[in-house]
């Protein structure tokens, strides 16, 4: 029980750090430099610029997320998640706090000032990607586009990835309709979007990314024994036929973390220098020893 409580506390501390980094990315780097990007926060910044600051991005972000959460409860029930509510409220509170700390703004004269404008969306994208990755890894969400994507995926055959691509492109391109914005402002938005997406994947999948390995070797038994006994990973032996020789062969099918690939390669080469290996990135491996099998929202469970 104590371990579970400490684990939960740790997860919430990490999510707090993620929310803080998200707030810093936007309020320290993006908004002080009149830039924007994708997502709900990107849309809120566009509206802030269009209204000359009369409607602050952080305030609008909170209001829109509250409305989206209410819709989520009506449509999807209370299973939507306490952690998402926690992260949305915390992010919306932290953003105006960071905004009211001028020394944290990346502008000339401050410690965080960046002389080259093109580096600003890179830094902001890096911070946002890390922030979202930390939040997502502990089953949280900053809301916004995530909630809308769940709505659409529930009722229309559109993947969340395709929705993000379309919505972010529209939001980023919309800065061109502002009188004081130019093509370069749109480019900055796309740079941040790409950097954020790449870093997000690295944070959420980098440490857990897996590979599928096929090993063709006459010494398959020695290789399989090493993997099962020394590396504590499962091995499946597939029966195959070499079509050139018409001989029966045994092929090893192995699923391991990417960081374990070097050990397998080293052992296979040591046992059988003539062995043949095929390595493929696995976009998702679920089950014992890997990721937990998860299912989507089921209306019957509401």
Average of per-residue pLDDT across 253-278: 88
Average of per-residue pLDDT across 84-108: 89
pTM over 0.75? The answer is: no
Q: Which residues contact 283 (CB under 8 A, 6 or more apart)?
A: none
pLDDT of residue 301: 44
Query: Is the pLDDT score of 197 beyond 50?
Result: yes
First CA to last CA distance, the chain: 28
The percent of residues above 70 in pLDDT, for the chain, comes to 84
Dig out the tokens for 76 from the structure.
Answer: 């999807």
Lowest mean pLDDT among 110-114, 158-162, 176-180, 196-200: 158-162
pLDDT tens digits, 77-88: 555 568 888 888
- The Cα 108–Cα 94 span in angstroms is 23
pLDDT tier at 140, thresholds 50, 70, 90: confident
pLDDT tier at 195, thresholds 50, 70, 90: very high
CB < 8 Å & 24+ apart, contacts of 284-292:
285/210, 285/255, 289/233, 289/234, 290/208, 290/210, 290/255, 291/208
**Pick the residue with more confidence: 151 or 243?**
243
Dig out the tokens for 151 from the structure.
Answer: 């709505």
Query: Is the pLDDT score of 256 beyond 60?
Result: yes
Average pLDDT, the chain: 83
- The Cα 97–Cα 60 span in angstroms is 15
pLDDT of residue 156: 67
pLDDT tens digits, 64-77: 888 887 877 776 55
**Pick the residue with more confidence: 230 or 73?**
230
pLDDT tier at 189, thresholds 50, 70, 90: very high
**Cβ burial, residue 89 (10 Å; 0-12/13-18/19+):** middle
pLDDT tier at 144, thresholds 50, 70, 90: confident
């Amino acid at each position: 029980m104590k371990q579970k409580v400490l684990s939960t506390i740790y997860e919430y501390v990490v999510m707090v750090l993620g929310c803080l980094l998200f707030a810093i990315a936007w309020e320290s780097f993006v908004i002080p430099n009149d830039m924007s990007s994708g997502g709900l926060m990107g849309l809120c910044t566009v509206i802030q610029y269009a209204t000359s600051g009369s409607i602050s991005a952080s305030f609008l972000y909170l209001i829109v997320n509250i409305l989206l959460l209410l819709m989520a409860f009506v449509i999807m029930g209370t299973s939507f998640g306490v952690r998402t509510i926690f992260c949305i409220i915390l992010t919306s509170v932290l953003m105006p706090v960071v905004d009211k700390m001028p020394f944290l703004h990346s502008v000339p004269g401050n410690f965080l000032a960046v002389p080259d404008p093109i580096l600003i969306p890179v830094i902001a994208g890096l911070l946002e990607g890390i922030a979202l990755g930390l939040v997502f890894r502990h089953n949280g969400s900053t809301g916004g586009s995530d909630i809308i994507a769940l709505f659409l995926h529930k009722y229309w055959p559109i993947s969340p990835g395709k929705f993000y691509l379309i919505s972010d492109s529209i939001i980023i391109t919309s800065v061109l309709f502002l009188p004081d914005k130019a093509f370069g402002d749109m480019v900055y938005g796309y740079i941040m979007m790409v950097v954020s997406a790449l870093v997000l994947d690295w944070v959420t999948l980098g440490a857990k990314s897996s590979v599928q390995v096929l090993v063709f070797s006459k010494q398959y038994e020695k290789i399989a024994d090493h993997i099962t006994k020394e590396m504590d990973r499962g091995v499946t032996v597939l029966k195959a036929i070499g079509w050139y020789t018409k001989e029966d062969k045994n092929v090893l099918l192995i699923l391991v973390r990417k960081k374990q690939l070097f050990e397998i390669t080293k052992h296979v080469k040591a046992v059988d220098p003539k062995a043949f290996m095929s390595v493929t990135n696995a976009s998702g491996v679920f089950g014992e020893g890997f990721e937990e099998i998860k299912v989507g929202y089921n209306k019957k469970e509401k």
